[in-house]
């Protein structure tokens, strides 16, 4: 596929959004659920070892947990694909891993961990891949949860080489000018900042 695109559109930069590791699907815990509120997320039961997965949580397994992702990024580099957005998990099966939020999706579950841990996990994954593949152009993920403090966190991480770009996803829907305002005036329009209500996730499903 890539070779075909490159042949038809020479010079077109191709990027890949890569979930650097899998984790079991989560569901609301019946023990902590009520009629008005879904329970805390718990992983689905798995008989024996979770074998059919890609990578492991770097906060548990360290840098070696992302060996599969690193191998894939090197494979992409060999095919002249340098732009890689590093994320984790799945937005459909374990959204607290991929989209840390103050307010989880209304049809999901309550976060089983402090969302800041999810942010650290995402940023750490980007750092591990960047260190292993310095020639890759790595886009970090997880900044939207930081809201007003995105510039203060993103700037040193880019400067220190954790990643090449600080990526924002949900935030672009409400405040696409944030990077421009941050770089030109240093002041943000607080009323436009995404507050992670998760309506952009659940709204299209209703």
pLDDT of residue 16: 97
pLDDT of residue 46: 81
Domain limits, the chain = 14-205
pLDDT of residue 206: 63
What is the token pair recorded at 131? 């260190």
Counting every residue, how long is the chain?
Answer: 206
Distance CA 55, CA 127 (A): 15
Q: Residue 179: CB partners within 8 Å, gap ≥ 6? A: 168
In the 8-state DSSP scheme, what is residue 104? -
What is the token pair recorded at 169? 């996803």
Tens of pLDDT along the chain (206 residues) come to: 888 998 999 989 999 999 999 999 999 999 999 988 899 999 998 877 777 789 999 999 888 999 999 999 999 999 999 999 999 999 999 999 999 999 988 888 999 999 999 999 999 999 999 999 999 999 999 999 999 999 999 999 999 999 999 999 889 999 999 999 999 999 999 999 999 998 887 766 66
């Amino acid at each position: 596929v890539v070779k075909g695109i490159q042949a038809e559109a020479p010079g077109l930069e191709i990027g890949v959004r890569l979930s650097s590791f899998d984790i079991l699907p989560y569901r609301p815990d019946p023990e902590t659920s009520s009629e008005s509120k879904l329970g805390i997320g718990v992983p689905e039961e798995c008989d024996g070892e979770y074998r059919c997965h890609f990578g492991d949580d770097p906060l548990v397994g360290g840098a070696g947990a992302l060996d599969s992702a690193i191998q894939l990024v090197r494979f992409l580099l060999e095919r002249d694909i340098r732009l890689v957005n590093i994320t984790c998990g799945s937005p459909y099966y374990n959204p607290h891993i991929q989209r840390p939020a103050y307010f989880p999706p209304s049809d999901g579950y309550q976060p089983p961990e402090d969302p800041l841990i999810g942010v650290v996990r995402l940023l750490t994954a980007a750092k591990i891949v960047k260190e292993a593949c310095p020639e890759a152009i790595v886009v970090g993920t997880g900044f939207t949860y930081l809201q007003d403090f995105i510039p203060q966190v993103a700037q040193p991480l880019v400067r220190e080489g954790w990643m090449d770009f600080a990526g924002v996803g949900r935030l672009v829907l409400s405040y696409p000018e944030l990077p421009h305002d941050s770089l030109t005036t240093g002041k943000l329009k607080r009323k436009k900042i995404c507050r992670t209500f998760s309506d952009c996730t659940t709204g299209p499903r209703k």
